[in-house]
Amino acid sequence: MSLERRLAAATVRDALAAARTIGVERLDALALLEHALGRPRVWLIAHDDELLATADAQRAAALFVRRAAGEPLAYLVGEKEFHGLALRVTPDVLIPRPDTETLVEWALELLPADRPVAVADLGTGSGAIALAIAQARPLARITAIDASDTALAVARANGERLGLRVAWRVSDWWQDLAGQRFDLVVSNPPYIAEGDVHLAALGHEPQQALTSGIDGLDAIRRIVAGARDHLAPGGWLLFEHGFDQAQAVAALLASAGFSSIGTRLDLGERARCTGARAPG
């Protein structure tokens, strides 16, 4: 019997049990039910013997089936929390990862709260990093770029909804930032090697946001190559990168004349971010 038919005349509790039988975890099923019914989680838990309306049951069944087939929860509900911000996400943008908060925390350590400094976020996607910085450093003048105009539309809408000011620009890395210099540049660029086995699990996300050449380092090489023209003297450049790329990124920065090279660990204690200071 199809899941949709099983949810006809089902209660909230029945629906959660049915979701489990097709492999949808309870927390995911709860989030999908919240979305399908437009009810908060506390309501669902307090009314778990309530019968689902037909239209709600149909919506829930369709979402459970898509989740069971591997679509990320964030795309199904259209939202992902990042650094305390509720961000809208669509398949045009990478889903923000908790590990990327490491990059935000590092940037915030370097950014003074009491004066306006110029910050750039390269490859902003949903706007997650730029908006997290904007929220924590209201005086920062933040420019966020992405080569994808559909991604940038998602980011811009997130900024408007959250009431956070960022200058959003379509640009292929530095290309359309001629003449602009920044005190701090952050980037979570695509860094997975083409053909990497991990890509199989990421098939719903934009490949342009994930892969970057044969060793995954093409984007980072391009950003480092242009960085001297776009950083203020002594300005910082911070990257997120793959768990096994810290040495390669440090070497790229060193050969471009950067100093104070350091690395930060992600939530799983892997070297996930590398950054350094421009000369001057």
Residue ranges in contact with ligand GLN by CB under 6 A: 94, 97, 188, 190-192, 198, 202, 210
CA distances from 32 to 11, 22, 240 (A): 15, 14, 30
Residue with smaller CB distance to ligand GLN, 20 or 198: 198
Residue with smaller CB distance to ligand GLN, 97 or 181: 97
Min dist CB 77 to ligand GLN, Å, is: 19
CA distances from 95 to 82, 170, 204, 205, 271 (A): 10, 19, 10, 8, 20
Min dist CB 218 to ligand GLN, Å, is: 12
CA distance 74 to 87: 10
Helix/strand/coil (H, E, C) string of 201-217?
HHCCCCHHHCECCCCCC
Min dist CB 265 to ligand GLN, Å, is: 14
Residue with smaller CB distance to ligand GLN, 75 or 191: 191
DSSP alpha helix (H) spans, 142-239: 149-162, 218-227
Min dist CB 11 to ligand GLN, Å, is: 36
The CA-to-CA distance between both ends of the chain, in Å, stands at 69
Min dist CB 53 to ligand GLN, Å, is: 37
Going by their DSSP bridges, the two strands 271-277 and 85-88 should be labelled as unpaired
Residue with smaller CB distance to ligand GLN, 22 or 248: 248
Min dist CB 233 to ligand GLN, Å, is: 28
Residue with smaller CB distance to ligand GLN, 143 or 245: 245
Q: Are 89 and 82 in contact (CB under 8 A)?
A: no
**223, two tokens:** 């950003």
Residue with smaller CB distance to ligand GLN, 50 or 196: 196
